[in-house]
Amino acid sequence: MKKILVTGAYGLVGTDLVLALRKKYKRDDIITLSHNTTHNQFDVISEKGDVRDGKNLEKIIKKHNIGTVYHLAGLLSVASEKNPDLAWEINLGSLKTILDLAVKYKFRIFWPSSIAAFGSTTPKINTPQRTVLEPTTMYGVNKVAGELLCQYYFLRYGVDARSLRYPGLIGYKTPPGDGTTEYSVHIFYGAIKENKYTCFLKKDARLPMMFIDDAIYGTIKLMEAPAKKITVRTSYNFGAINFTPIELVNEIKKLSPEFKCDYKPDHRQKIADSWPKSIDDSQARRDWGWKHKYDLEKMTKVMLSQLKINPPAGRRK
Ligand code: SER
């Protein structure tokens, strides 16, 4: 079998994805690429390197006879605002490098887009698959450009690149990254560690969200779908639940009645304001059978119980 390469393997999506792929494939079929392999927690093959280093990427792709790349390495929205040049290089430059290598070595690609591809001029409720894309963050600009690049390489060179517009993702196996929807992960750490949390978004900031197990299930399902079912070559709208910080707080309080949250919205609120509140993902549901399983209640139960078993203090930073 041709091998699978996962970049950004230690991030929020990568960690859960590698573990899920490992259940389906043998150890030697999965290769992770990370600039830091010191915390090698997976029973797979690990390679060290920077995704901006095209020569190293090519060497790894040839050496392991790669058939699929999950290219997950990237900076989230807040990190990208702090360093827009670096965001451009990592989020977009490395995607272009991988697409070029896919033309040469004929492998398939998964690349994550985001609800950040949308902007303030996009309809916010049930945001349609095909709509205005005028993001105002560097991260969003990277995502729109990347989506168009994936479609271009498909149309021009036949590269089988597939993509999902991830909503805010909530998981417990790795600490939250520097993003806007990530309050929804930080909040659980606050609840477990000290029964309180100060939220950097307003209490009524509604955003599209998804539990990580659903995201991983959908990602693998998209990649396993026959190519003829894939009618969107930019990126699929990908929805599950949506909620506001206060709705999440109320859900946490059902299980941890002592939990307290206050709200100090900062610069991240502006980013949240530019994003949709809910997503119409009917195209993904029709084309390749996307279906989510976790609602707010079920997700909250799993997050609290898992973080209680493996409390944040003992976790990798
Ligand atoms: N979680 C991401 C962020 O807020 C959205 O794709 O940056």
Question: Mind listing the pLDDT tens digit for each residue in 147-170?
Answer: 999 999 999 999 999 999 999 999
pLDDT, one tens digit per residue, over 281-306 is: 999 999 999 999 999 999 999 999 99
Does 116 sit in the ligand 1 pocket, CB within 6 Å? yes
Does 276 sit in the ligand 1 pocket, CB within 6 Å? no
Distance in Å, CA 297 to ligand 1 centroid: 22
To test ligand 1's pocket by mutation, which of 141, 178, 182, 200 has the most ligand atoms within 8 angstroms of CB?
Answer: 182
Of 222, 244, 87, give the one whose Cα is nearest residue 163: 222
The reply to whether 139 belongs to the active site is yes
- Check 70, 139, 197, 217 and give the catalytic one: 139
pLDDT, one tens digit per residue, over 234-261 is: 999 999 999 999 999 999 999 999 999 9
- Whole-angstrom distance, CA of residue 218 vs CA of residue 237: 11
Angle at which helix 296-309 crosses helix 245-255, to 10 degrees, equals: 60
pTM of the model: 0.96
Which runs of E-coded beta strand occur in 2-97?
3-7, 30-34, 45-48, 66-71
- Whole-angstrom distance, CA of residue 46 vs CA of residue 60: 10
pLDDT confidence tier of residue 311, bands split at 50, 70 and 90: confident
Tokens of 61: 């792709």
> What domains can be seen in the chain, in order of their start residue?
3-168+210-237 (3.40.50.720), 169-208+240-276+293-309 (3.90.25.10)
